[in-house]
Amino acid sequence: MAIVRVFVGLDYHEESIQVCVLNGEGRILANRNCLNDVEQVRELIGDHGSRARCALEACGGAAEFAHQLLRHRELDVRLAHPGYVRRMKHNPDKSDAEDAFVLADLVRMNYLPEVWLAPQPIRQLRRLTRYRRQLVNERKNHKLRVRALLREERASDAPANAWTKAWLAWARDEAPLGEQGRWVMGRLLAQIEHLSREIVEVEKRLAEAVRDDPLTAALLRQRGVGLVTAATLRAEIGSFTRFKSGKQLARYCGLSPCNASSGKRQADAGLIRAGNDELRTILLEMAHRLAQHDDRWRTMKERMQYRKPMCVIVAAIANRYVRWLYHEMVRCEQPLEAA
């Protein structure tokens, strides 16, 4: 029996999926909508070929759907970068059938702008690290509301530094606030305390999740890297060997300078706007620590501080550190992959 290879574009939606099947010459064999069900999609593809290379845009739920499709050996599933796919589409019209056709044609011509399909354990770890970041951001917003309330009530005679136990007791019981302001203050401080406890619980679960992971252990051995930083790097980067160079990794982390040169004028325009926000945030925080406590990076900061503002120095340290970290982790990861 001859093997018939087809190329499939999947326009993913929460309740339905548009499936476009092309043959090797680009002729449409099918382009129809079906339920968001792995078996139904697989049967539709199987009606037209015994082997299929599939593409779907990376979006919420697409990775899990792709992982379920990959359980069938006859399917080769790849995730596409939605931004690049949109720019490569020349037709101004927008429809599910057209989007599915574009994906199928790109994967047929081997022009698909792919993104990495992370293994399920990495995706689960990402959910933990991102949940923790959401809690931290929520706690920060509540703290900003507390400070705003104190400013509005002109309560500025605090007996201690902000967020110490003495300061919290003053803000709760002694600050000169009105009746409603006192009630709001109590609610805000209670929510901050609850969020702090929740963050501690998430960090305990993070420690349990990465306890037996050798790559996370290698990250924890690096200076300036703690549990949260190591878990975030592991979750968002996944495998260091999937990058070709430290420069490519730095760009993925959003730490590369944006080039704004023209003619003889050579200039930078800050950091690139693309990149992984989770990684950029945690690496910039780590660069601040390294600039204070590590001799190598402190020397770099001192060498630049008379020519550049501090924000530029920290970004440069983070960029250089990630490139160095890439080579360190690749050396650790390659023996693990070989084993």
126 and 110 belong to one structural domain: no
Q: What is the pTM of this model?
A: 0.86
Vertex 86 angle, CA 85 and 91, to 5°: 110
Q: Pick from 55, 84, 115: which residue ends a domain?
A: 115
Count Cβ atoms below 10 Å from residue 235 Cβ, excluding itself.
25
30 and 70 housed in the same domain:
yes
Identify whether residues 178 and 104 lie together within a single domain. Answer: no
Which of 308, 252, 244, 316 has its CA nearest to residue 280?
Answer: 252
- Break the chain down into helix, strand, coil percent, rounded to 5: 60, 15, 30
Alpha-carbon Rg for the chain, nearest whole angstrom, is: 25
- Is residue 221 domain-shared with residue 313, that is, in the same domain? yes
Give the sign of the dihedral formed by CA 44, CA 47, CA 50, CA 52.
negative
Domain range enclosing 20:
5-115
My answer on whether 324 and 219 are in the same domain is yes
Residue ending a domain, among 68, 95, 115, is 115
Same domain, 128 and 141: yes
Give the CATH number for residue 99: 3.30.420.40
Q: How far apart are CA 170 and CA 164, in angstroms?
A: 10
Residue, of 92 and 21, whose pLDDT is higher: 21
Last residue of a domain, one of 175, 209, 243: 209
- Structurally, the chain folds into a number of domains equal to 3
pLDDT at 336 over 70: no
Angle, to 10 degrees, between the axis of helix 62-69 and the axis of helix 120-152? 170
The answer on 167 and 141 residing in a single domain is: yes
Are 165 and 227 found together in one domain?
Answer: no
Share above pLDDT 70 across residues of the chain, in percent, rounded to a whole number: 95
Q: Which of 91-95, 170-174, 219-223 has the lowest mean pLDDT?
A: 91-95
Is the alpha carbon torsion for 278, 283, 288, 293 positive or negative?
positive
State the average pLDDT over residues 251-259.
84
Sign of the Cα pseudo-torsion (46, 48, 51, 54, in order): negative
Whether 312 and 222 map to the same domain: the answer is: yes
> What is the structure's pLDDT at 149?
94
Cα–Cα distance between 59 and 77 in angstroms, integer?
Answer: 14
> Phi/psi class of residue 154: alpha, beta or left (left: φ > 0; alpha: ψ in -120 to 50)?
left
What is the tens place of the pLDDT at every residue in 57-98?
988 888 999 998 888 877 889 999 888 888 877 777 788 889
* Residue corresponding to tokens 């720019």: 87
Q: Are both 17 and 85 inside the same structural domain? A: yes
Q: Residues 107, 28: one domain? A: yes
Residues 273, 332, single domain; the answer is yes
pLDDT at 1: 40
